[in-house]
Amino acid sequence: MTQRVYLDWNATTPLRPEARDAVMAALDVYGNPSSVHGEGRRARRILQDARAAIAASLGAEPETVVFTSGATEANVLALTPGLHRTGTPPVERLVVSAIEHASVLSGGRFTKACVETAPVDRSGVIDLGQLDRLLVDRPPALVSVMLANNETGVIQPIADVAELVRARNGVLHVDAVPAFGKIDIDFKGLQIDLLSISAHKIGGPKGIGALLVAEELRGLEPAVTGGGQEKNRRAGTENLPGIAGFGAAAKIAATNRERFFGHSDVLRRRLEAGLKQIVRSTIIFAEDVPRLPNTTLFTAPGLHAETAVIGFDLEGIAVSSGSACSSGKVQPSHVLEAMQVGAALARGGIRISLGWETTENDIDRALEAWRKLAGTLVRKNDETVLERF
């Protein structure tokens, strides 16, 4: 039987051997990290070592790392009314980019009336002029802009966003989940106030994430209450095996980041060239702007994403769709809609995302599957759809 090819690394990644070993070792450490006896101190040492490894991989101090159950909880914790830096007024509203993850678009602990959306351009890059207009001469805002988009891979100009936000006495939250482990992230250098990350996107276990909180930030109220863990920022006994695996994954991801970038970039170029060669009307979304090296979102006129994903799967290739399915009804990708892509193309986005185990053979097998599928799934001469794009 032909081995399957996994090309959905932005959804989740295999558990790295180093992370698995760390998880297994931590399972034998039965002390509570909050206890003062020897068993507790041993557990706390594992927790603190992981905290330091994660912080070091992001140019941050260990004290900034708050462990959560995942990035969704980290985002909800971050989106808190009343946040402020020392000497600035508390934020009263939330401004999110139009391409954020659902956990950010939902507004966290802000009421819907206090949430506004900043648009992106046709390449999926945030419109800095429009963002500034949402901030100037108005009450201070918490601004949430993801570092890189999980569907298109587009890297946002976070340094420029941070400059705007600080000039308006705002606070900046960055969802770094898709970018973590793929590109260099300097938490302090970029002047980020809050940053969300997840373990299972970098080869760590599922069910563990973290929020980095700048030392000068004030007003963060815990979303989970009842205990004093994580310096009163997140109650509950820490998930020690998950945290140990997270730390191990962060360490290996940081060590291999440059190699991963080069490896993925070469394979992505091979993939995109092949897609276009097979179907000349192929559209690579956001190909004209900086993207994550491992991410391709593409379509072709007449392509229906859900049918294509099933077709790839039957050929032994795991990819994902730019569309979301709700109650059995396929909806266009909100990311592509924000980029002003027509509904027909927005329903046809296919995401291929690569990882550290992806090979040239995997790319070639994906292209061969696309060659088989394209003849029946793509209307090659549908100029009406192309003109709308």
Q: Which residues are known catalytic residues?
A: 325
In whole angstroms, how large is the CA radius of gyration of the chain?
22
CA distance 365 to 316: 9
Nearest-angstrom CA–CA distance, 236 and 229:
6
**Under a CB-based contact definition with an 8 Å cutoff, are residues 79 and 94 in contact?**
yes
Residue 144: strand pairing partners: 96, 173
Strands annotated E in the chain: 5-6, 65-68, 84-85, 93-97, 115-118, 141-144, 171-175, 194-198, 209-213, 217-218, 283-284, 295-299, 317-318, 320-321, 324-326, 329-331, 350-353
Choose among 301, 338, 305: nearest CA to 322. 305
Which residue from 210, 214, 215, 213 is spatially nearest to 249, judged by alpha carbons? 210
What three-state secondary structure class fits 389? coil
Query: Exposed (0-12), middle (13-18) or buried (19+): which is 62, by Cβ within 10 Å?
Result: middle
Q: Where is 273: in which H helix or E strand? A: helix 240-278
Backbone angles phi, psi at 178, to 5 degrees: -65, -30
Q: Three-state DSSP class for 224? A: coil
Backbone angles phi, psi at 94, to 5 degrees: -125, 130
**Residue 261 tokens, joined:** 């970038």
